[in-house]
Structure 1
C-alpha cells in the first residue's frame, strides 16, 4: 500500500518547505490553473486620456484583455529506498517524516531558491537590467539606492532586495551611516547591526550563499554552473513576477508493496517555476560580482 503524503500531510509539508526558503513570498496566490502544469494570467491594457473638446464629446479609447498561459518546466523527482532494518536500527531516524524533513531543508527548499534566483537574474540580464560590479563599503549605499530608484514607481512596499552576506557586511560598515551602539543590559546581550530596509524597501540577506548565483547546473541537485557569478543583490518588484509550485506527489510505499526488496520506498516529485511579466519586466534588477 502506498501513502500519498501530499494528501495526508500536505499542509505540514508545505510549511516545512516554505519556512526553509527565501523566495516563498514571490509565489502567486490563487493562480488560475488550466491543467497540472499550466496557469493563465490576464493582462488588461487601456489607452490614455486625450484633450477634451466641448463641442465634440468624448474621445474614443480602447481597452483590451489578453490571456497568457505559463507552463511550468522545472519538473523534479527523486526516490529513496530504506531497508526496514535500517529504520529499526536507527530508532526511526529514517522514518518518512524525518526523511522528508531532511530532504526539504537540505535539498528541495535550497534548490527552489537557487532556481528562482538564477532565473530572475537571467531575465534581468536579458532585459539589460543586470551589471557586473564591485561593491565595497564606500559605494554600497549609492549602488543600492540607485537600483531602488529605478523601481520606486512600483511602490517600495512591493519591493524586496535580496543581498549577499558580503554586501550586507559592506552596508553595515558604510560611512554613509552614523550609528551609536549602547549596551546597557546586565547579563547576556546581543548587538544587531544588520540593515533591514532602505527607503521602505525591505532588505533580505541570503546567508546561504550557495543558492545565490546567476546560473546553476541542476543535473544532480544543484551547484553553480561553470562560469557562474555570485550575485551581489537581486531587487524584485513582487508585482513583476508570477510563480507557482505544485507538489505532484510524496509517496511512501510499504515493504513488499512494489517488489523492490524488504524496505520502505519514498518518492518525491515537484513542479515549480517563476516568470517575469512582459509589462513590468523592468521590475527585476540584478548585480553580480565582476
Structure 2
C-alpha cells in the first residue's frame, strides 16, 4: 500500500479517535482569532481595551474616548512525541492489525488522556482563577458546591452562556441519584456537562520525559502537591486552546534503512492558557487531600 495513502487512512482514524475521547476538545478556540507570531513557537491574540462612559454635555456633546487593540504573544506550551516500530512480518501476519491497532490505541489510551490532563492542570494552575477546596461526600454537598461556584461567577459578571461544567463521574452520579428539582436545576444552567475520569483531572501533572531513569515509559502522573479536581466550570471564551496536528509520520519497511519494519511517529504540539483579563471565567474545585 502506498505510504501516503496509508498515512491518510490512519490520520482520519486518529482525528475521529480524538473527537470521541478528548474531554477538552470542546474548548478548542477559533483559529481565526489568532495569527502567527514572530517566532515559530508562538501566536499573537487580540486584546481590546476602551474607556467607559462619560458625562454627556448638551452644549459640547460627547467626551472623546480611547480604544486600543493590542496583540498579546502566547507561546506554545505542549510539545510531545513518540516513535514506534512494528516488524513487517508481524504486521503482515496480523493482516495489518498490529500497525492499525498501534495507531488507534496509542492515541486513545495514551495521547488523548495526557493531553486532557495537561490542559486541565494548565487551566487549574492559572493565577487569578476562582478556586475552592473541599471533600464532597454526598450529592447534596456536590450540588451546593456547584451552586456556590455559579453564584461566584454570576457576581463576577461572567456571561451565563458558553459555560461548561467538567465533573468527575462519581460526583455526577451522586447528583443524578438525588433526582430532585434542585439537583436538576443546578445542572440545567450549563451549555454542556462533560464527565471527566479522575485519572485526567488533577490540579498539577508531571510529564515524564521518556529518557530519565524511572520515566522511560513516558506518559504523565499527578504531580507532587497536585490535587484531585472535583469539578471545573469554564466559560469557553476565557480559554485559549489551539492544537497543531501534524500528519503522523509513517515510514514503510522499504524506506526504513535500519530495520524491516514499519515506523510510526506521533507528535502533539499546541497550547492551553487562560486570557489574563478573563480569569474570572474559570472556577476550579479540588479535593483537600
Q: Give the TM-score range, shorter chain.
A: 0.7 to 0.9
Q: Name 2:123's counterpart in structure 1.
A: 120
Cα separation, partners in 2 of 1:83 and 1:249, compared to 1, 3 Å: same
**1:93 and 1:48, CA in 2 relative to 1: closer, same or farther beyond 3 A?**
same
| Whole-Å separation in 2 of the counterparts to 1:174 and 1:116 | 31
Residue in 1 that maps onto 2:55: 51
The answer on whether the counterparts of 2:129 and 2:279 sit within 8 Å (CA) in structure 1 is no
> In the alignment, what sits opposite 2:236?
238
- Asked if residue 214 in structure 1 is aligned to residue 216 in structure 2, the reply is no
Q: What secondary structure does 2:44 align onto?
A: strand
Matches within 5 A, 1:1-290: 3=4, 10-31=11-32, 32-34=34-36, 36-95=40-99, 97-123=100-126, 126-127=127-128, 129-135=130-136, 136-152=138-154, 153-174=157-178, 177-178=180-181, 197-206=187-196, 208-219=197-208, 220-290=218-288
Using the size of structure 1 for normalisation, the TM-score is: 0.85
Change in CA separation of 1:11 and 1:81 when aligned onto 2, cut-off 3 Å: closer
* Contact in 2 for aligned 1:249/1:270 (Cα 8 Å): no
| Deviation for aligned residue 1:254 | 1.1
Alpha-carbon separation, structure 2, partners of 1:255 and 1:9: 17
Q: Deviations over 1:247-290 (max 9, x none)?
A: 23411111142322111111111102211001111111101111
RMSD over aligned Cα atoms: 2.6
Q: Could you tell me whether the CA contact under 8 Å between 2:228 and 2:287 is conserved in 1?
A: yes
> Structure 2: 5+ residue runs without aligned partners?
209-217
1:4–1:250 contact (8 Å) kept in structure 2:
no
Q: Which one is further off, 55-64 or 72-81?
A: 55-64
Structure with greater contact order relative to length (CA < 8 Å, sep ≥ 6): 1
> Are the equivalent residues in 1 in contact too, given 2:230–2:285 (CA < 8 A)?
yes
Q: Distance in 2 between matches of 1:195 and 1:268?
A: 43
Count of residue pairs brought into register by the alignment:
272
